[in-house]
Structure 1
Amino acid sequence: MFFHEPELQYEVTVEEPDPQFAKELQQAIGGVEGEMRVALQYLFQAWATPKEHEEYRKLLMETGTEELGHIEILATAVTKNLRNATDEEREDAAQDDMMRMMMSGQSPRQILSAGESAMPVDSNGLPFNGNYVVASGNLAADMYANVMAESTGRLLATRLWERTDDPGMKDMLEYLIARDTMHQNQWLAALETLDDPVPVPASFPQEKENQEFNYAFMSTHREEREDPDMPWTQGESVDGHGEFSFVQQNSDGKGTAPSPDSSVYSDPNRE
């Protein structure tokens, strides 16, 4: 169950409306690094969390709901960048040069389909894709995915911050960047509370793995090369269950495909 209040989670002000920046902000709404992705990701993860892990379900639900508020913030910012023009700016918009700028710099669909407002799309106008959402049903795997999602989201927000000179937009992005910092840290903290997070799934019996390769870094160079003496080629593995090693890719397997059934007519010489 969700409840909605008319107030924004964080104030959004735009001093100089910028249709081009409105288009760029769409990436933070419906792009692969955007808020729609993390909101749905955390909510679907929460809905899959069993009763015995209620504390993680609450963590995910709280954060997923917060991210819904971030979508609202960004949608408001997009709309204000599209609509809040002064009379002088509206007069300029009637000029051919301005219209050309609007159609090349701004997504035409923000006008034609949405009446100068935000849409569930990325900065190229592509619809949000549910395949961006990672909800595996495994807490450890999901927490690692969440760290990545917040990392790329924060990276996007910092790039958007560099792309605007509007004080209000910088202020809004500084808030979102700060929340990305917190969320990265909270997912890492959650991982630390798990008894045995790697390898995922940790419950699979490792004695059933190929013991020759389960902690071997594999070089794919054609010419044999020496162990580079890196933390991932020697010493104890991160999970504490093995020793890293350095091996050369072998060529034991055969890549030749067997002949297809004659009924699929793949053989050009078949009469």
Structure 2
Amino acid sequence: MFRHQKELQYEVKVDRPDPMLARNVQEVLGGQFGEMTVMMQYLFQGFNCRGEEKYKDLLMDIGTEEVGHVEMVCALISQLLDGASPEDQAKAAEDPNVAAIMGGVNPQQLIVSGLGALPTNSNGVPWNGSYMVSSGNLLADMRSNLHAETQGRLQVSRLYHMTKDEGVRATFRKMLARDRYHQYQWMAAIAELEEKNGVVVPASFPPQAEMESQSEAYKLFNFSEGEQSKEGPWARGTAQDGTGDFEYVSTPKPKGKAPKMAVPAVELHHDLTDKSTDK
């Protein structure tokens, strides 16, 4: 059961309208790593969670908080659009640099939403369910969550420097603080799950099933110009699960044969046969 409370988690109050910034903020609402993505990702992971109740509870706690963050960002966008008009778009386009880079005010915020937020990114591309991850494997999902919070916080940090509006920045600071803590939470969950089951996903896959390929599990192949990658800890030392040692292969050689495809039936019209030999 969900219950909506009218008050926002944190105060949202901009100093002045800024339709151009409103368009940019759409990215952290409906973009790939926006609040809509983490909201849906955590909630679906929570809905589908099996096993220890504490993981489901954590997912539902943070997922429900993200519902509130979606509302906060919508309120921020709406305030940035207050008083905007079609004339604003025309005025912005008078500067050729602004017109070329920004394309002016987002016309959909004027035409479609009536000065409101949209479930889209900053270029008007609708939010997509494929942005979210809910695999049913807790470690895989927690790592995806850490990635999502990492990218989301990075984008809010960049937006922070795109405005001098202290009201907007105050909202961003709250979002940045919460995204930082959410990274801590996912890191803690990841560490606990790795301690329980190991660092490789899925832990339940039988090791004996890949024993014949074990030697291939530790090699870094030099498939690009230069050999700087051999200087990293991923090219030497022991694997994180303690099952083998890394090896750098400077001149990798193929171990398979070139594929030879059969000619398909003529009904598929690949036009691969020599017509001069047809009977």
Taking structure 1 as the reference length, the TM-score comes to 0.90
Aligned equivalents of 2:22, 2:45: Cα separation in 1: 30
Counterpart in the other structure of 1:257: 261
Name the CA shift for 1:56/1:226 in 2 (closer, same or farther; >3 Å): closer
Cα deviation for residue 196 of structure 1 reads 2.1
* 1:220 partnered with 2:223: yes
| SS in structure 1 of the partner of residue 215 of structure 2 | coil
Cα deviation for residue 16 of structure 1 reads 1.3
Where does structure 2 lack aligned partners over 5 or more consecutive residues? none
Question: Does the CA-based 8 Å contact 1:49-1:57 persist in structure 2?
Answer: yes
Aligned equivalents of 2:91, 2:67: Cα separation in 1: 34
Question: Does the CA-based 8 Å contact 1:191-1:197 persist in structure 2?
Answer: no
Residue type of the partner of 1:16? R
Counterpart in the other structure of 1:76: 75
Name the CA shift for 1:94/1:232 in 2 (closer, same or farther; >3 Å): closer
Question: Does the CA-based 8 Å contact 2:31-2:120 persist in structure 1?
Answer: yes
Question: Does the CA-based 8 Å contact 1:23-1:105 persist in structure 2?
Answer: no
CA deviation digits over 1:47-67, x for unaligned, max 9?
A: 1211x2211000000000001
Moved more, 172-181 or 212-221: 212-221
Counterpart in the other structure of 1:104: 103
Counterpart in the other structure of 2:237: 235
Counterpart in the other structure of 2:9: 9
Residue type of the partner of 2:236? Q
Residue type of the partner of 1:233? A
| SS in structure 2 of the partner of residue 217 of structure 1 | strand
Counterpart in the other structure of 1:128: 127
| SS in structure 1 of the partner of residue 221 of structure 2 | strand
Counterpart in the other structure of 2:270: 266
Where does structure 1 lack aligned partners over 5 or more consecutive residues? none
Residue type of the partner of 1:35? E
Residue type of the partner of 1:252? K
Question: Does the CA-based 8 Å contact 1:140-1:197 persist in structure 2?
Answer: no
Name the CA shift for 1:23/1:197 in 2 (closer, same or farther; >3 Å): farther
Counterpart in the other structure of 2:147: 148
Counterpart in the other structure of 2:116: 117
Cα deviation for residue 206 of structure 1 reads 2.1
Aligned equivalents of 1:180, 1:234: Cα separation in 2: 34
* 1:36 partnered with 2:36: yes
Counterpart in the other structure of 1:211: 214
CA deviation digits over 1:170-191, x for unaligned, max 9?
A: 0000000011100111001001
Cα deviation for residue 255 of structure 1 reads 3.6
Residue type of the partner of 1:62? D
Taking structure 2 as the reference length, the TM-score comes to 0.87
Name the CA shift for 1:252/1:7 in 2 (closer, same or farther; >3 Å): same
Cα deviation for residue 222 of structure 1 reads 7.5
Instruction: Report how many aligned residue pairs link the two structures.
Output: 263
Cα deviation for residue 33 of structure 1 reads 1.4
